[in-house]
Structure 1
Amino acid sequence: MKRRSILGAAATVLTIIVLLAAIEHGTLVMKPHIRSKAAVLMDLETGKLWMDVNGGAALCPAGMSKMMTQMIVLDRLAAGVLHWSDKVPVSARAGTAEGTTLNMQAGEVYTVKELYQGVTVYSANDAAVALAEHIAGSESAFVSIMNAKAKALGLSGETVFANATGASPPSAERQQGKLVETRMTAVDAGKLAAALITSYPEVLETSSLTQMKLQSKGLYVSNTNLMLPGMGGAYAYTGTDGLKTGYDERTGYSFAGTAERGGHRVIAVIMGADSQEERFKETAELFDYAFYMELPPVRRFKYLLGRLGGAFG
């Protein structure tokens, strides 16, 4: 019996050594184990999906859908029909937006740049509604532009925009079927993020800001993306510079993240994590998988141990 135990332990050690050697030489890299409802890992340059976990399921993306709001703002700026310095009055509708807001009040006036930063950095719903109304005259008209853009970008029919914010309607209204709600697949979220970065790489200059300030209010707010290196916390990840977080009470916590190392940029989408910490942990696992050969030795070793632990656990 003792001999068998020794032989079994030796076989396990040998297996681990062989796996480590194979992974180290690039012949085998174990994929992360995703616990969230959906996830994709995309190569920006080729559009190839390196991982696709339930990526075609339509889920409530919440604030992640604001990537489309950003896209339309940047489209209008590029066309010259909108300018960063344009003044935007906050309507009563925008001033009463719920969820994450900058506490903007009806009648206050902000620049397009301030509102765009509020959407990009803090995922502010009041800023998103104010921009939508300014661009299209009403939020409903802006939604039509969003869905037309989704079609032009080749997003699937499973992705539908219902407002400028991604916020879901109250449960009572959902049960009565009164409102269409925003839905998005993880694959479409990745495609939208890729289109946004490719068309307007300057979006990353704003999405990488650790905080923004509303000058008139003297209000500072921090970025909701805790993976930014400048945030300096437990989830900071070298090379990360965007892109958009989201939370829905039914779907859970979501994140469309992007990072670049050695001139190689990838996009990772997590939808339906159990906590905001989990969405960043899983995104880091996806980034590690993509950047394995570019990780520092200690991080590479930890990655290997984590993957092997999952394989033998």
Structure 2
Amino acid sequence: MKRRIVVGAIAAVLVVVLIAVWRPTGLGFKPNIDAESAVLLDMDTGDIWVDINGDVPMPPASVSKLMTEMIVLDQISSGMIRWEDRVPISAYASKMGGTSLSLKRGEFYTIRELLEGVTIYSANDATVALAEYMAGSEASFVLMMNDKAHSLGLSSRTIFTNATGLSGKDLGFTDPNMHISGETMMTARDTAKLAAALIYHHPDILNISSRTQMHLKNKGLYVSNSNFMLPAMGGIYAYEGTDGLKTGHNNRAGYCIAGSAQRDGHRLIAVVMGAKTYESRFEGAAKLFDYGFFRGLQSGDRVKHMMNPLRIRN
């Protein structure tokens, strides 16, 4: 009898341990994310299902390029610029540090090539070249970024100070005539809302952000996507249904991701900011997606269309 009690007690302990360590999100528990902030947005309902320090402003690194992508696609949609427009590379753009396509002063590239460089590879030189082409200078483009943030209803805690998301230290030289000083900061909530607005208004962005690599023909250059969650990447972080959007990293921001995934017509946006390792940002986003898709399966009253992101519920 005592032996049965002991065996039963051991079995109960094992069950508790398994629940604690084996993908608890699959059982409907909110995930524990190893990062400074994280948000999970359901684009079907506009609900924020997970919010960990979602209103705390954080340095976003290249995730802030989502706003650059938004403005490029807005201008293409309005006819202000065209995909095949040839953009000159300035001396300033060619000096951009960090991730770059090694664009040289005096070279020309199309809007399409540069946007692919921004979206797939997070190229800082391509980002600045686009900003200068659309607004005349990066400084004027930054004003456009903040105006767009206001029109989308992003909070005052999100502010853009350059087109790239680079920190002042990473830039390594003085910005020319910048109108807004300080560092770019975004909240996880605002990042999710921006990502949702980008997909809602310009769904074709996912055709670019889901590509595993891009080819810059003039240079014979191939570069790979840094989003290892894409299924076509085939790695250990690949997640079924993932199709974008943006990763970011620098010493100040840590590792960040604004990811999008869709299963059975159900789209989620997962944002992880301030993770300590590139592994933990992908693991955190996967936990958020697991939780969201599990919860979506349990919800019988889910709206069957994509919610206008301007109506996201706070």
> What is the aligned-residue identity percentage?
53
Kindly state the Cα deviation for residue 180 of structure 1 after the two structures are TM-superposed: 1.3
| Corresponding residue to 1:253 among 255, 280, 283 | 255
Residues 11 and 63 (structure 1), Cα distance of their counterparts in 2 relative to 1, 3 Å cut: same
Q: Give the 3-state SS of the residue equivalent to 1:158 in structure 2.
A: coil
Residue in structure 2 matched with residue 192 of structure 1 by the alignment: 194
**Alpha-carbon separation, structure 2, partners of 1:105 and 1:16:** 57
Kindly state the Cα deviation for residue 45 of structure 1 after the two structures are TM-superposed: 2.0
One-letter identity of the residue aligned with 1:289: Y
Residue in structure 2 matched with residue 301 of structure 1 by the alignment: none
User: After alignment, is 221-230 or 163-172 more displaced?
Assistant: 163-172
Residue in structure 2 matched with residue 202 of structure 1 by the alignment: 204
Residue in structure 2 matched with residue 271 of structure 1 by the alignment: 273
Q: Give the 3-state SS of the residue equivalent to 2:130 in structure 1.
A: helix
Q: Tell me whether 1:111 sits opposite 2:110 in the alignment.
A: yes
Offset from partner CA, 1:115-148 (integer Å, 9 cap, x none): 0000000000000000000000000000000000
Query: What is the correspondence of 1:64-75 to structure 2 with a 5 Å cutoff?
Result: 64-75=63-74
Query: What is the correspondence of 1:261-300 to structure 2 with a 5 Å cutoff?
Result: 261-292=263-294
Q: Give the 3-state SS of the residue equivalent to 2:219 in structure 1.
A: coil
Residue in structure 1 matched with residue 130 of structure 2 by the alignment: 131
One-letter identity of the residue aligned with 1:170: K
**Alpha-carbon separation, structure 1, partners of 2:83 and 2:19:** 57
One-letter identity of the residue aligned with 1:233: G
**Alpha-carbon separation, structure 2, partners of 1:163 and 1:234:** 34
Residue in structure 2 matched with residue 310 of structure 1 by the alignment: none
Q: Tell me whether 1:81 sits opposite 2:83 in the alignment.
A: no
Q: Which runs of 4+ in 1 moved over 2 A?
A: 1-19, 171-174, 292-295
Residue in structure 1 matched with residue 222 of structure 2 by the alignment: 220
User: Could you tell me whether the CA contact under 8 Å between 2:228 and 2:237 is conserved in 1?
Assistant: yes
Offset from partner CA, 1:45-83 (integer Å, 9 cap, x none): 222111001111101001000000000000000100100
Residue in structure 1 matched with residue 150 of structure 2 by the alignment: 151
**Alpha-carbon separation, structure 1, partners of 2:261 and 2:125:** 28
**Alpha-carbon separation, structure 2, partners of 1:283 and 1:71:** 22
**Alpha-carbon separation, structure 2, partners of 1:237 and 1:163:** 32
Q: Give the 3-state SS of the residue equivalent to 2:168 in structure 1.
A: coil
User: Could you tell me whether the CA contact under 8 Å between 1:261 and 1:294 is conserved in 2?
Assistant: no
Query: What is the correspondence of 1:230-249 to structure 2 with a 5 Å cutoff?
Result: 230-249=232-251
Offset from partner CA, 1:73-105 (integer Å, 9 cap, x none): 000001001000000000000000011100001
Q: Give the 3-state SS of the residue equivalent to 1:253 in structure 2.
A: strand
Q: How many residues align?
A: 287
Residues 4 and 203 (structure 1), Cα distance of their counterparts in 2 relative to 1, 3 Å cut: same
Kindly state the Cα deviation for residue 10 of structure 1 after the two structures are TM-superposed: 4.7
Relative to the length of structure 1, the TM-score reads 0.86
**Alpha-carbon separation, structure 1, partners of 2:19 and 2:248:** 41
Residue in structure 1 matched with residue 308 of structure 2 by the alignment: none
**Alpha-carbon separation, structure 1, partners of 2:169 and 2:14:** 55
Gap regions ≥5 residues in structure 1: 296-313
Q: Give the 3-state SS of the residue equivalent to 1:216 in structure 2.
A: helix
Which structure has more RCO (C-alpha within 8 Å, separation ≥ 6)?
2
**Alpha-carbon separation, structure 2, partners of 1:10 and 1:64:** 46
Residues 140 and 39 (structure 1), Cα distance of their counterparts in 2 relative to 1, 3 Å cut: same
Kindly state the Cα deviation for residue 189 of structure 1 after the two structures are TM-superposed: 0.3
Kindly state the Cα deviation for residue 9 of structure 1 after the two structures are TM-superposed: 2.6
Residue in structure 2 matched with residue 36 of structure 1 by the alignment: 35
Kindly state the Cα deviation for residue 285 of structure 1 after the two structures are TM-superposed: 1.1
Kindly state the Cα deviation for residue 17 of structure 1 after the two structures are TM-superposed: 10
Residue in structure 2 matched with residue 304 of structure 1 by the alignment: none
One-letter identity of the residue aligned with 1:47: G
One-letter identity of the residue aligned with 1:269: V
Offset from partner CA, 1:271-310 (integer Å, 9 cap, x none): 0111111111111111111123799xxxxxxxxxxxxxxx
Q: Tell me whether 1:97 sits opposite 2:104 in the alignment.
A: no
One-letter identity of the residue aligned with 1:168: S
User: After alignment, is 10-19 or 65-74 more displaced?
Assistant: 10-19
Root mean square deviation of aligned Cα: 2.6
One-letter identity of the residue aligned with 2:9: G
Query: What is the correspondence of 1:13-32 to structure 2 with a 5 Å cutoff?
Result: 29-32=28-31
One-letter identity of the residue aligned with 2:58: L
**Alpha-carbon separation, structure 1, partners of 2:194 and 2:296:** 26
One-letter identity of the residue aligned with 1:223: N
